[in-house]
Amino acid sequence: MEKCIIGKKIGMTQLFDEKGNVIPVTVVEAGPCVIAQKKTAENDGYEAVQVGFGEISDKNVNKPMKGHFAKADVAPKRTLKEFRLDDCSALNVGDIIKADTFAAGDMVDVQGTSKGHGFSGTIKRHNGHSLKDTHGTGPVHRHAGSMGACSDPSRIMKGKKMPGHYGAETVTVQNLVVAKVDAENNLIAFKGAIPGPKGGIVFITDSVKKA
């Protein structure tokens, strides 16, 4: 059965293996989650489950969503995410998904939203270099520089590395290894880094490349 869960990034720390080697890990508070809706090939054309995570006050839930949660007979959740699975037969509305769904050694894909940096220049956004900081540079030492294409085609070509919105994008890191699972505290530690700032929501599924 395919596995999925929603979590909140806690931060990074380190673990030690049996040989004393340091393993950098990212800790995620994974679950408990509840299945709020189940879609089937017969009714919807595909197999999927809608998973809810995080508590939210009733006063912050609009009427359509209140009806949605009432139909499933589950408490309102702050985050909802639909996971398309090949086989959902073992999952039903109201089922609880906890961190112990995964085990140490599992390979997973983690999707999150990268840290937003707002409107950024070419140096920060594209790792460009500035002009020399000695005399004569003027107030343009961090500008993009020449970007035209002469008289033909008289326009900036698509793909030019320009200033603009940087970050806050959906990023998926594949084939991460689960280093440790703390089922009692709903924590999962992954080897390496995962996208997003501290406190960001992440979506965890089985890796396409199985361990």
Residue 174, CA atoms < 13 Å, CB-side half-sphere: 4
Task: Give domain status of residue 189, yes or no.
Answer: yes
Task: Give domain status of residue 211, yes or no.
Answer: no
Instruction: Work out the mean pLDDT of the chain and round it to a whole number.
Output: 88
Q: What confidence score (pLDDT) does residue 211 get?
A: 40
Same domain, 90 and 126: no
Confidence band of 95 (pLDDT split at 50, 70, 90): confident
Q: Is the pLDDT of residue 209 over 60?
A: no
Same domain, 17 and 66: yes
Amino acid at 177: V
Same domain, 10 and 109: yes
| Residues 66, 67, 72: CA angle, nearest 5 degrees | 100
Counted domains in the chain: 2
Contact 76, 69 (CB under 8 A): yes
Element (H, E) at 34: strand 33-39
Whether the CA torsion 153, 158, 161, 163 is positive or negative: it is positive
Residues 44-82 have pLDDT tens digits of 888 889 999 988 888 898 999 999 999 888 889 999 999
By residue range, what is the domain housing residue 136? Answer: 119-166
pTM: 0.82
Mean pLDDT of 195-202: 89
Q: What confidence score (pLDDT) does residue 208 get?
A: 66
Same domain, 131 and 47: no
Q: What confidence score (pLDDT) does residue 125 get?
A: 93
Output the six-digit token pair for 66: 């209140």
Residues 104-118 have pLDDT tens digits of 888 999 999 999 999
Mean pLDDT of 21-44: 90
DSSP 60: G
Same domain, 30 and 132: no
Amino acid at 147: M
Same domain, 108 and 202: yes
Same domain, 176 and 162: no
Q: Is the peptide bond before 163 cis (omega within 30 degrees of 0)?
A: no
Same domain, 41 and 112: yes
- In CATH, what number is assigned to the domain containing residue 200? 2.40.30.10
